[in-house]
Amino acid sequence: MLSQIALSEIVYLSIATLLLILISFFTGYTIAKKQFKNLIGERQQVEASLQASQEQFHNLVKTSRNEIIALQESKKSLQQIIHTIADGLVIVDTYGGVLFVNPAAQSLFKLSETELIGYLLGVPHVIGEFTELCILQPTGNLITAEMRVEEIIWEKENAYLISLRDITERYRVKQALLESEKRLEGILSSIQDVVWSASAKTVQTLYMNLSAQKVYGRPASEFYRDRFLWFKTVHPEDKKMVREQHKLLLETGSMEMEYRIVRPDGEVRWLYHRSRLVCDDLGSAVRVDGIDTDITERKQAEEKLERNAFYDSLTDLPNRALFTDRLEHALKRNKRHPESVFAVLFLDLDGFKLINDSLGHLTGDRLLQSFANRLSECLRPSDTLARLGGDEFTILLEDIKDLKDAILVAQRILQTLTLPFNLNGQQVFTNTSIGIALSADNYQRSEEILRDADTAMYRAKAQGKGCYVLFDPKMYYLALSRLQLENDLRQAIARQELKVFYQPIASLETGKITEFEALIRWQHPEKGLISPAEFIPIAEETGLIVPIGQWILKEGCRQMKAWHEQFSPKIPWKIHINLSGKQLKGINLVEQIDKTLAETDLDASSLKLEITESLLIENVEVATNLFLELRERNIELCLDDFGTGYSSLSYLHRFPISAIKIDRSFIMQMNSQDETNEIVRAIVVLAHILGMNVIAEGIETEAQLEQLKKLNCEKGQGYYFSKPLKKEDAENLLKVQR
């Protein structure tokens, strides 16, 4: 081809040369020469253009060859990807027949390529979205696959590409999670507490169980619709406190409080609220999870108990605790302002025991109620009238000018008692003896002035009753007698005049003795058997109660160990020992108890220590640490005289107390019509809620026993079972029981 082109060019040049000669011949040599040069330039351009065309041709051929190789490599890689990809790939025609399957798809169907090609799988109906497909393998195993379909061109024909991913395990996990959520929802729906969750940023309710209807009186759906509904239900008086607590929640991450809500029907309910802040990995608040418990019944019972702690259930007057508190305030005020004079009147009904015994306790109670009403009519609203117990009443007269004002009140009271009381149509006459003590600089404590008023009252009784007597410091001659008693008491331990009596505590269900309370008695060489009521207060004031208490502890433990050995170490009898305030404050009480148990070889679980409510309140911090140490030793703790002090569940549940004793004053007043039954019921229920057993003191009749059984009271003590016994008599009782 190149030779042909060269030949043509030669011919062309020859002709051109001839023409130039001819032209030159005619036009001149100069013109011909110029034209020849132009022809030579054109030839060179043609040659350069031809050379470029050749190079382009060679490059095009080379590029086409590389592209074919690359396409072949790409197809090979694509085939490798398709064959190694974990997802199953299936291509079907527009009729649903299988055109292609990769190995992963063969594995899903458990069929070979030969078995699948041509298989009528079906025409997909959902394009471009994820759906689920159940595949029944030849082995009978059913799997679940996630499927997505796309339209493609396969070998110049319309087709469908189906991608399949085995999600059987994920599906099982999902189903298990759904089942777990159903169980959780069932549990949350069955509990009585309101369980909820809300957004920390928007306070939008995210979850609330069905208990919302019962507690809030509203369906949970209302809380989803109104994100502020929770706060709207809060009692107006508690909203400020709730706001402050919510701020603390955001600061500390948790919140615990008691507050009131108002239901749509106007009913007020108490809730115990606990919530915590949930944060993400970056520490940002995400939501708040909480539980609300309806504690209305507990609050009502607690309020009833608290009122009983400060008010007399029979007359609804302040009791000793409240009166003492107000007297303390008056005394402190008098110290700051000596011109603020006050007086205490101590009253005791004359002949009340005779009326009570002859006309019955019910008439006696009505007389006390009528007497309280008549006393109230003689006083100002600012005066405090209280019933200390039995037929003893006290009056606190504040802001009086001098002693004459107190005398006028006493005279007015005596005048009103000249008129009879009409009790169910029966007229009853009674009078009262009144002792008066006026505030003075020498009084440091409320019990001192109360004691002097009491002393003056007894002097009034001695003078013939129905009169009043002013306390005279000369009455201190009685203190001399008390001092003598104190001196005798100091020697009583050394002389072995103190004795331990044992009063049985029995199971109300079986009537069998389960425990004994160790009670001290004093066999005075001259005065005979002295009641603890006479010498224990002296022992408390002088500190003698500490060595006496140590002695009782050792004697009681020693005797209980002896009974275990004599009868059976397997019998779980326990000994109750009373702790005094002085012992409670002692720095080595636990060491003394450990030493006593070691010396007597008595197991710690056989020892129960009793403490009164008033002592517990006065020594909260000391008692908390002490009780924890004792419980670690498996020594049980019992709260004595429950209901007569400052009982409050707000603090009671903090102590590891295993049992409470209901004061005998409640048991003595029990009858089928009396509200005292409800108080006892409330005490028993609350004790059981707190995981405590109940012991009723002062059981004297079978009727009381049967009522306590119905109230599920576990144990009791009192004259119905046995009076306090000497150790020999108690031992005989155990022999009879065995």
Across 157-242, the runs of DSSP E, i.e. the strands, are 157-166, 194-199, 205-208
List, for residues 670-702, the tens digit of each pLDDT value: 875 666 688 888 889 888 888 899 999 999 999
Phi, psi of 399 (to 5 degrees): 55, 50
Instruction: Give the model's confidence band at 562: pLDDT under 50 very low, under 70 low, under 90 confident, else very high.
Output: very high
Does the pLDDT value for residue 71 go beyond 60?
A: no
pLDDT at 35: 58
Phi, psi of 544 (to 5 degrees): -65, -15
pLDDT at 313: 87
With a pLDDT cut of 70, the percent of the chain lying above it is: 84
For the residues of 75-100, what is the DSSP string, one character each?
Answer: HHHHHHHHHH-SSEEEEEETTSBEEE
Section 36-44 average pLDDT: 64
Helix, strand, or coil (residue 167): coil
Half-sphere exposure of 554 (CA within 13 A, CB side): 12
Q: Tell me if 640 sits within 8 A of 661, measured CB to CB.
A: yes
Helix, strand, or coil (residue 428): strand
* 51 or 307, which is more confident: 307
List, for residues 374-420, the tens digit of each pLDDT value: 999 999 999 999 999 889 999 999 999 889 999 999 999 999 998 99
pLDDT at 641: 79
Q: Tell me if 602 sits within 8 A of 560, measured CB to CB.
A: yes
Instruction: Give the model's confidence band at 270: pLDDT under 50 very low, under 70 low, under 90 confident, else very high.
Output: very high
CA distance 325 to 329: 6
pLDDT at 2: 41
* 322 or 481, which is more confident: 322
Does the pLDDT value for residue 3 go beyond 50?
A: no
Does the pLDDT value for residue 5 go beyond 50?
A: no
Name the range with the highest mean pLDDT among 131-145, 634-648, 653-667, 707-721. Answer: 707-721
Instruction: Give the model's confidence band at 80: pLDDT under 50 very low, under 70 low, under 90 confident, else very high.
Output: low
- Ranking 57-61, 168-172, 660-664 by mean pLDDT, the lowest is 57-61
pLDDT at 1: 44
Q: Tell me if 378 sits within 8 A of 412, measured CB to CB.
A: yes
Does the pLDDT value for residue 64 go beyond 90?
A: no
- Ranking 10-19, 169-178, 268-277, 623-632 by mean pLDDT, the lowest is 10-19
Does the pLDDT value for residue 520 go beyond 90?
A: yes
In sequence order, what are the residues at sequence separation of 6 or more whose Cβ sits closer than 8 angstroms to the Cβ of residue 298? 270, 649, 686, 689
Closest alpha carbon to 541 in 618, 455, 448, 609: 448
Handedness of CA 56, 59, 64, 67 (dihedral sign): negative
Does the pLDDT value for residue 13 go beyond 70?
A: no
